[in-house]
Structure 1
Amino acid sequence: MMLIEQTTVPATALPLDRFKAHLRLGTGFTEDGAEDALLEAFLRAAMAAIEGRTAKVILTRSFTWGVYNWRDGSRETLPVAPVTRIAELRVVDRHGTVCPCDPSSYRLERDTHFPRLAAAGTLLPSIPPGGTAEVDFDAGFGPSWDSVPPDLGQAVFLLAAHYHENRHEAALGEGHMPFGVLALIERWRRMRLTAGGAT
């Protein structure tokens, strides 16, 4: 399985001024923008860390997901949520020949934690030996910070502030995340439902 992020969050969508207010750093910045660039980097790092822990895409982006075989021939859990649109499903054989699938042959099953690519009929398109299936989709709570759930938004701010406060330390520990951040994201984490289910 391979998940590729095709688009990135534009700087204009990041809540830089709100983060400055959170840090109580509303004034006193130099004119060269160096401090803004640093705060933006902390916000992006915090978002990436929380998305990695929760499998939730905070701000909308486009992705391509590639798989070598289906776990379930009729529906497949997508790797992140919330998914808002499936743009294309295609099958690629071992020689690289691409065959787009008929959009009427599949559909999106929306779910907060486990959105699925589902067959419109009985089975999803078959993947040839040595080939892959590739799914282009959009995921995220929305394009602006106002669409982000408040607890996830606060978790991003807390973690970014933690990075800011510890920016001069050589290391922050292996996988360390402040307790307050973990508490805020707990309800958004995926839980394994069955022995072979998605997590």
Structure 2
Amino acid sequence: MMLVEQTTVPSAALPVEEFKDHLRLGSGFSDGGVQDAVLEGYLRSSLAAIEARTGKVLLARSFGWTLTGWRELGRQALPVAPVTEIAEVKIVDRHGQETVVAPETYRLQMDSQRPKLVSTGRHLPLIPMHGQAEVSFVAGFGPGWADIPADLGQAVFLLGAHYYENRSAVLAGEVPMPFGVSLLIDRYRTVRLFGEGAR
């Protein structure tokens, strides 16, 4: 299984000015936004860390997911949430020949924890031996920062501030997840039973 982010979070969607306020950085000086790129980097890092820990995509973007077999014949749990759209499903054989699956043969079962690709018939399209399925979908709470649940947004700010204040440790890769951040994100973490969605 391989999940690839096909579009990235645009810089305009990141609340750099609000993050400055959170850090209580001085304002009114003619720094020309010198620190903006650095602060954006910390926001992106903390956003990625929160998404990885929770399995939730905070800001909407497109993903491509490749897998070699369905976990169940009639449905397949998707690797992240919330998913808002299944854009395309393709079956690729061992020779690289692609077949686009008719959209009417499947649907998205929305769920805040484990959204699923579900067959509208008896089963999802068969994946040939040594072939794969490629699922393109859109996931995220929304395109703007205001679309993110307040507690997850606060967790991103807290973790970003932690990275900012411990810059030398960040460079060495030694910064653990702060306890306060863990408390904020715990209820969003997906509990996977019996390996559901493992493929």
Q: The TM-score by the shorter chain falls in which range?
A: over 0.9
Matched, 1:69 2:69: yes
Query: Which 10-residue stretch deviates more, 165-174 or 181-190?
Result: 165-174
TM-score of the superposed pair, with normalisation by structure 1: 0.95
Indicate how the Cα distance of structure 1 residues 162 and 99 shifts in structure 2: closer, same or farther if over 3 A, else same: same
For residue 190 of structure 1, what is the aligned residue in structure 2?
190
- Higher deviation after alignment, 22-31 or 11-20: 22-31
Unaligned runs of 5+ in 1: none
**Counterparts of 2:81 and 2:4 in 1: how far apart (Å)?**
14
The alpha carbon displacement at 1:198 in A equals 3.9
Tell me which amino acid in the other structure corresponds to 1:132. Q
Whether 1:35 and 2:35 are equivalent positions in the alignment is yes
1:166–1:172: 8 Å Cα contact kept in structure 2?
no
Aligned mates of 2:97, 2:173 — CA distance in 1: 46
**Contact residue 76 and residue 197 of structure 2 kept, 8 A:** no
Query: Which piece of structure 1 moves more, 141-150 or 33-42?
Result: 33-42
Q: TM-score, normalised by structure 2?
A: 0.95
User: Match of 1:87, as an amino acid?
Assistant: A
Q: Secondary structure at the match of 2:99?
A: strand
The equivalent of 1:4 in structure 2 is 4
2:128 is matched with 128
Q: Secondary structure at the match of 1:89?
A: strand
Secondary structure of the corresponding residue to residue 180 of structure 1:
helix
Listed as ranges, the gaps of 5+ residues in structure 2 are none
Residues 1:22 and 2:26 are matched in the alignment:
no
- Deviation of 1:26 (Å): 4.7
Structure 1 counterpart SS, 2:94: coil
Cα offset for 1:30? 1.9
Partner Cα distance (2:196, 2:131) in 1:
23
What amino acid maps onto 1:63 in structure 2? Answer: F
CA RMSD, aligned part only? 1.3
How far is 1:59 from its partner? Answer: 0.1
Q: Which residue of 2 aligns with 1:173?
A: 174
In 2, Cα distance between the equivalents of 1:172 and 1:153?
23
Q: Distance in 1 between matches of 2:120 and 2:64?
A: 21
* Paired residue type of 2:9: V
Q: Which residue matches 1:109? A: 109
Shift of 1:87: 0.4
CA drift at 1:34: 3.3
Q: Partners in 2 of 1:112 and 1:131 — Cα distance?
A: 30
Shift of 1:172: 5.1
2:147 corresponds to which residue?
Answer: 147
In 2: Cα distance, 1:73 partner to 1:29 partner: 61
Indicate if the aligned counterparts of 1:59 and 1:141 stay in contact, CA closer than 8 A. yes
CA contact (8 A) 1:107 1:120 kept: yes
Identity %: 56
